Structure 1
């Protein structure tokens, strides 16, 4: 199986980067993928945001795909991202179940394409 490409895009203006990174690492560990590296490129400028399709910090990409695809009303730019959890609450990080499911799905795709 090839390694997954996991990225956490962040902007310094949002305080949830460390929480999001911890959640990603926890989900990887729960899935038995502790060795998968998590890249953490910083989005510093509006140009960076535009080039990355960045709709807010943190944005988690798995094999280049946003963990939670952006809603049509979300604007590209330097901002803090808000996620809706499965229980309806809003959060600065994704729902842990969404994270686990996205990792599992990506791992299954990687297994098929090896």
Structure 2
């Protein structure tokens, strides 16, 4: 499974998502995470970047909502606790199809 974390430097929330993805990959050797810094509006448009952080699973945005805009902005996620700047650990596990402790 190929995971790409898209982000831009001015958004602090990508580091939270990165830490949560690291927690997951520690239990799943077959999951690799690449980090891709989006640097320009043109690149954001070309990638279909819906904001930072964005998590792509095998090239597909795992949390894309219909009609979401693209650009260099911080992204907001709906979580059980309310709106947040990154998906929860559990939301990421569901999106990746992995369970705690290395199970699939």
Q: TM-score range by the shorter chain?
A: 0.7 to 0.9
2:8 is aligned with 1:11 = yes
CA radius of gyration, larger in: 1
Written as runs of structure 1 = structure 2, the 5 A alignment for 1:1-114 is 4-29=1-26, 32-34=27-29, 36-72=31-67, 74-87=68-81, 89-104=82-97
Q: TM-score, normalised by structure 1?
A: 0.78
Number of residues paired by the alignment? 98
CA RMSD of aligned residues (A): 1.6
1:35 Cα deviation from its structure 2 partner: 5.2
Q: TM-score, normalised by structure 2?
A: 0.84
Tell me, which stretches of 5 or more residues in structure 1 are unaligned?
A: 106-114
Does the CA contact (< 8 Å) of 1:85 and 1:95 recur in 2? yes
1:41 Cα deviation from its structure 2 partner: 0.7
By percentage of residues, which structure has more strand?
2
Does the CA contact (< 8 Å) of 2:7 and 2:53 recur in 1? yes
Give structure 1 regions of 4+ aligned residues with deviation exceeding 3 angstroms. Answer: none
